[in-house]
Chain A
Amino acid sequence: DTEVTQTPKHLVMGMTNKKSLKCEQHMGHRAMYWYKQKAKKPPELMFVYSYEKLSINESVPSRFSPECPNSSLLNLHLHALQPEDSALYLCASSQDKFLEGFGYTFGSGTRLTVV
């Protein structure tokens, strides 16, 4: 299995809702990432997990809460989002954030709309 699977593909949520995005990989990668991408912009790094521990938080608002229950699974819990949080959320994985010379494998993303 050489894929990163993200669910759901589309999500519409109200500003008072709580929802979660899910990301799964079975490639044995030990680093996993969340990126946010607005229309016609590049992906922006949100969080980095290395060996199931949060190692980078790019000053993301607390209404986004990441979780890594095991080495194959990464969640992003959403609560009290704003309409400006509407974007494509991308999950990625790589062999190990400390190993140089490896590209990232991206999922196809969750397109989130906050109403």
Chain B
Amino acid sequence: SQQGEEDPQALSIQEGENATMNCSYKTSINNLQWYRQNSGRGLVHLILIRSNEREKHSGRLRVTLDTSKKSSSLLITASRAADTASYFCATHPDLGAGGTSYGKLTFGQGTILTVHP
């Protein structure tokens, strides 16, 4: 079963605009990660935020995490046509959940982002 739900399912914007994607999850987590996937190929790790962090930046990316609401958002500023891809959040379970949870990175449904030149 999938841990995360993302919205919107699809987002279409113009180059230069900002894109915001949201992710919600259900169980306690150790960390939350965001990945990008181009054209159904491999996933690229973008950014990781730990459960005790609230905000993290990497270049044009800004991720927030609200553990009380079990939600995260990914903001891409000044978007480019090359940002067109599917974006997935993925959660790593709280290590207190037990040894059988170690390594169970679970992906949300994803947001398809289209940036028009």
A76 to chain B, nearest CB (A): 16
Q: A103-B48, A104-B45, A109-B42 are in contact. Are A42 and B103 (CB under 8 A)?
A: no
A22 lies within 8 A of chain B by Cβ: no
B71 to chain A, nearest CB (A): 17
* B102 & A55 in contact (Cβ 8 Å cutoff): yes
Residues 50-94 of B contacting A (Cβ, < 8 Å): 50, 88, 92
Report the separation of the CA atoms of residues A102 and B92 in the bound assembly, to the nearest whole angstrom. Answer: 10
Report the separation of the CA atoms of residues A105 and B43 in the bound assembly, to the nearest whole angstrom. Answer: 8
Report the separation of the CA atoms of residues A97 and B41 in the bound assembly, to the nearest whole angstrom. Answer: 23
Which chain B positions have C-beta within 8 A of A42?
Answer: 2, 88, 107-110
Which chain A positions have C-beta within 8 A of B103?
Answer: 31, 33, 48, 50, 55-56, 94, 97
Q: Considering the complex, give the chain B residue whose CB is closest to the CB of A45.
A: B104
Residues 27-47 of A contacting B (Cβ, < 8 Å): 31, 33, 37, 39, 41-45
* B45 & A97 in contact (Cβ 8 Å cutoff): no
Mark B26-62 against chain A: 1 for CB-CB distance below 8 A, else 0: 0000110101000011111100101000000000000
* B42 & A107 in contact (Cβ 8 Å cutoff): yes
Q: Considering the complex, give the chain A residue whose CB is closest to the CB of B2.
A: A42
A101 lies within 8 A of chain B by Cβ: yes
* B42 & A102 in contact (Cβ 8 Å cutoff): no
Which chain A positions have C-beta within 8 A of B31?
Answer: 100-101
Mark A92-112 against chain B: 1 for CB-CB distance below 8 A, else 0: 101001101111111111010
A21 lies within 8 A of chain B by Cβ: no
B97 lies within 8 A of chain A by Cβ: no
A81 lies within 8 A of chain B by Cβ: no
Interface centre among B48, B92, B103 (most CB of A within 10 A): B103
Report the separation of the CA atoms of residues A50 and B102 in the bound assembly, to the nearest whole angstrom. Answer: 10
A-B contact pairs, 28 of them (CB 8 A): A4-B42, A37-B40, A39-B40, A41-B109, A42-B108, A45-B106, A48-B103, A48-B104, A50-B103, A55-B102, A56-B100, A88-B40, A88-B41, A90-B43, A97-B102, A97-B103, A100-B31, A100-B92, A100-B95, A101-B31, A103-B48, A104-B43, A104-B45, A106-B43, A107-B42, A108-B41, A108-B42, A109-B41
